[in-house]
């Protein structure tokens, strides 16, 4: 689905770091930049400049013992009447030449991930769903580790166990020693997490309502595919089909995703890899109603999910829909497309309401975009020119008597029409054979149909039985489908859902579930950033926070070495981001008692 000129066509808002010199001094600041599409192409504009904030240097003094309280969101206890808030300083004579730093770990990104994990209530959910038993490490903690790794630095379970975990500060934050994290334990954590998929989706729905006031009167549904490396013979769902990843040579599964208006993921289902989009609609709607009950929802879907049978299914069930329509339906509205009573909804996009006298009680919203028309017509003309030139070449070869085999000629014509399918309907080709066995090819271009295709370029139709008379409201709602498409891009690129290396069906589904939970955290972070005035591009923020490290400082004294565990002081520009998001980090060191060493 492509809608030129829509607000969701924007690449989004992201953070740009700026380095300036003023009066000989370096000055760091952030600007919030929005990328927008205009009639002249993509442009960037500065939405806000984020400079040095008031009170930036007055940091709240917190230590490592506060981490648990911050993550759980519990209020800080009030000090007693005679309680000293600040601990008195400790003094020791240190051999400066022997000071060293060890155990450098990534802290900022995993700490952010843990904050999101707790904010979504997933820590409490996993403890209740997977209560601790006789295992060394609770499965709820291993599930946390799997999702945090997927969120911060997507990698395989083997890589998590062999390198990623020991380079992060999670052993301090989760309390799990490095030697307890291995590939086998991570795989078993996948198996333990998968049975709780449906209850987890219900938990997220409730949590979205508490955090963002989300309602579920509109459900946005779309489908994608992700492919397997290897044959995946142990997975009956792994089949070859239409690949959105341009890998038709690989087996795949299809994934149907349902989101809210804000793009928050609330449910998903995994289908066989050879399922066509249109065949999943009724099944998905039935699954949602069975698991989460019936309600007066409006289902919003792209034209690839729609058939007359599906729309009749919605009407029989008393459900509402808002869908795109095939290009062929434009022929029924040719006259309305030429009229001038259009309403502008944004730069380059116009809409108007229309109806059909026959058929069910539905509303049609006609939409057109000059920018999209120019693009579609340019694509059409490229196919027309290429197909016409190839057909003329065949005609000339036939006239010269170079073509002898009629079946071969017809196959060549078929391949040309397939390769140039956008223009194929504009041409009619006849191949005849004379008494002298000479082949003759006649080619005709339908100029009237060609002109109609040019006139209707950039136009599309929305179809709904939702009672709404404002075409702008209908269009604004439909355009939110791009949030689902953005979720698929996030899962595949930022969260590494593809390709799937697991051979067994349950393991592959557990992998997809981990990606789904990480997507919920990603979308929650976007809402958090948006509320903080930091745009909607989490990857940039995660990369910046990854540079925030924890480390051990070794201070040699006369009779022992003191090991202090601490978090490095953030750069000024990073302090701005942390303060914007109201993220507190430990800025008081912790003495590691069990690693104090006697000096020789």
Q: Where are the domains of the chain?
A: 7-50, 214-349+469-503, 372-455
pLDDT (0 to 100) of residue 45: 74
| Per-residue confidence (pLDDT) for residue 595, from 0 to 100 | 44
pLDDT of residue 61: 64
The distance in angstroms from the start CA to the end CA of the chain is 71
Contacts of 466 (CB under 8 A, 6+ apart): 298, 320, 321, 322, 363, 474
Rounded distance between C-alpha atoms, residue 252 and residue 260, angstroms: 26
Residue 27 has pLDDT above 80, yes or no: no
Torsion of CA 535, 536, 540, 546, to 10 degrees: 100
d(CA 491, CA 484) in angstroms, rounded, equals 11
Backbone angles phi, psi at 312, to 5 degrees: -65, -35
Residue ranges in 433-584 assigned as alpha helix (H): 447-455, 471-478, 481-489, 505-531, 538-546, 572-580
Give yes or no for residue 458 having a pLDDT over 90.
no
- Greatest mean pLDDT among 226-235, 519-528, 583-592 lies in 519-528
Q: What's the average model confidence in pLDDT over 8-16?
A: 55
Domain 214-349+469-503: which CATH number of 3.30.420, 2.60.40, 2.20.220, 3.40.1000? 3.30.420
- How do residues 203-250 score in pLDDT, each as one tens digit? 999 999 999 888 888 999 999 999 999 888 889 999 999 999 989 999
Return the residue matching tokens 């509303």. Answer: 363
Kindly report, residue by residue over 270-320, the tens digit of the pLDDT.
999 999 999 999 999 998 888 777 777 899 999 888 899 999 999 888 889
Residue 82's pLDDT is: 40
pLDDT band at 57 (very low <50, low <70, confident <90, very high): very low
Confidence band, pLDDT 50/70/90 cuts, at residue 10: very low
Q: What is the CA radius of gyration of the chain?
A: 30
Task: Name the percent of the chain lying above pLDDT 70.
Answer: 87
Q: What is the pLDDT of residue 264?
A: 94
Question: Tokens 């690693």 belong to which residue?
Answer: 595
Residue 489 confidence (pLDDT): 93
With 0.75 as the threshold, say if the pTM is over it: yes
Contacts of 91 (CB under 8 A, 6+ apart): none
Q: How does residue 75 score in pLDDT terms, banded at 50, 70 and 90?
A: low
* CA 181 from centre of chain: 28
* Mean pLDDT value across residues 552-569: 87
CA angle centred on 392, ends 387 and 398, rounded to 5°? 130
* Sign of the dihedral defined by the CA atoms of residues 219, 224, 229, 234, in that order: positive
Q: Which residue(s) pair with 45 in the sheet?
A: 34
Of residues 25 and 403, more confidence is placed in 403
Tokens of 597: 């060493």
The span from the CA of 304 to the CA of 328, in Å, is 13
pLDDT band at 388 (very low <50, low <70, confident <90, very high): very high
Q: What is the mean pLDDT of the segment spanning 255-275? A: 94
What integer best gives the mean pLDDT of the chain? Answer: 85
Q: What angle is formed at CA 464 by the lines to CA 362 and CA 298, rounded to 5 degrees? A: 130
Q: Is the pLDDT of residue 597 over 60?
A: no
> What pLDDT is recorded for position 593?
59
Residues 134-183: tens digit of each pLDDT: 899 999 999 999 999 999 999 999 999 999 999 999 999 999 999 999 99
Q: Answer yes or no: is pLDDT of 76 > 80.
A: no
Distance, in Å, from the CA atom of 61 to the CA atom of 541, rounded to the nearest integer, reads 24
Percent of the chain with pLDDT over 90: 49
Q: Which of 2-35 are b and which e, b meaning 16 or more Cβ less than 10 Å from the residue's Cβ?
A: ebbbbeebeeebbbeeeeeeeeeeeebbbbbbbe
């Amino acid at each position: 689905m492509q809608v030129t000129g829509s607000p969701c066509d924007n690449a989004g808002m992201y953070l740009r770091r700026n380095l300036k010199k003023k009066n000989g001094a370096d000055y760091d600041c952030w600007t919030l930049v929005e990328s927008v599409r205009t009639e002249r192409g993509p442009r960037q504009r500065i939405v806000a400049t984020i400079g040095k904030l008031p009170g930036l240097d007055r940091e709240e003094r917190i230590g490592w013992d506060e981490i648990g309280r911050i993550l759980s969101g519990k209020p800080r206890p009030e000090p007693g009447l005679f309680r000293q808030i600040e601990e008195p300083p400790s003094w020791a004579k240190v051999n400066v030449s022997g000071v060293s730093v060890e155990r450098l770990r990534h802290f900022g990104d995993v700490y952010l991930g843990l904050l999101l994990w707790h904010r979504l209530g997933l820590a409490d959910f996993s403890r209740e769903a997977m209560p601790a038993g006789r295992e060394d490490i609770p499965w709820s903690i291993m599930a946390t580790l799997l999702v945090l790794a997927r969120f911060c630095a997507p990698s395989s379970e083997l890589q998590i166990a062999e390198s990623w975990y020991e380079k992060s500060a999670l052993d301090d934050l989760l309390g799990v020693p490095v030697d307890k994290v291995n590939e086998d334990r991570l795989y078993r954590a996948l198996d333990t997490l998968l049975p709780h998929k449906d209850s987890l989706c219900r938990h997220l729905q409730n949590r979205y309502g508490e955090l963002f006031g989300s309602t579920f009167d509109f459900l946005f549904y779309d489908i994608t595919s992700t492919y397997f490396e290897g044959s995946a013979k142990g997975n009956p769902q792994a089949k070859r089909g239409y690949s959105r990843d341009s890998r038709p040579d690989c087996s795949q599964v299809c994934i149907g995703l349902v989101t809210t208006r804000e793009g928050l993921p609330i449910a998903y289902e995994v289908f066989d890899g050879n399922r066509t989009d249109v065949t999943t609609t009724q099944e998905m709607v039935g699954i949602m109603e069975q698991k989460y009950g019936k309600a007066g929802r409006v289902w919003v879907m792209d034209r690839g999910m729609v058939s007359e049978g599906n729309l009749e299914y919605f009407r029989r069930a008393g459900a509402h829909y808002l869908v795109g329509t095939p290009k062929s339906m434009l022929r029924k509205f040719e006259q309305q497309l030429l009229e001038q009573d259009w309403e502008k909804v944004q730069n380059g996009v116009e809409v108007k309401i229309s109806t059909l006298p026959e058929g069910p009680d539905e509303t049609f919203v006609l939409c057109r975009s000059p920018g999209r028309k120019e693009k579609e017509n340019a694509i059409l003309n490229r196919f027309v020119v290429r197909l016409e030139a190839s057909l003329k070449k065949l005609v000339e070869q036939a006239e010269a008597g170079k073509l002898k085999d009629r079946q071969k000629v017809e196959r060549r014509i078929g391949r040309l029409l397939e390769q140039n399918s956008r223009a194929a309907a504009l041409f009619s080709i006849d191949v005849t054979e004379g008494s002298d066995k000479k082949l003759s090819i006649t080619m005709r271009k339908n100029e009237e149909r060609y002109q109609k295709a040019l006139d209707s370029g950039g136009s599309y139709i929305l179809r709904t039985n939702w009672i709404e008379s404002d075409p702008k409201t209908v269009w604004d709602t439909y355009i939110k489908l791009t949030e689902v498409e953005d979720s698929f891009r996030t899962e595949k690129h930022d969260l590494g859902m593809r390709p799937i290396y697991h051979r067994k069906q349950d393991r592959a589904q557990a992998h997809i579930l981990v990606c789904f939970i990480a997507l919920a955290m990603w979308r929650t972070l976007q809402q958090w950033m948006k509320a903080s005035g930091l745009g909607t591009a989490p990857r940039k923020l995660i990369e910046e926070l990854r540079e925030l490290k924890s480390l051990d400082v070794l201070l040699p004294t006369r009779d022992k070495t003191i090991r202090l565990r601490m978090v490095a002081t953030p750069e000024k520009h990073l302090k701005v981001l942390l303060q914007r998001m109201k993220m507190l980090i430990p800025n008081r060191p912790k003495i590691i008692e069990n690693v104090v060493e006697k000096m020789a």
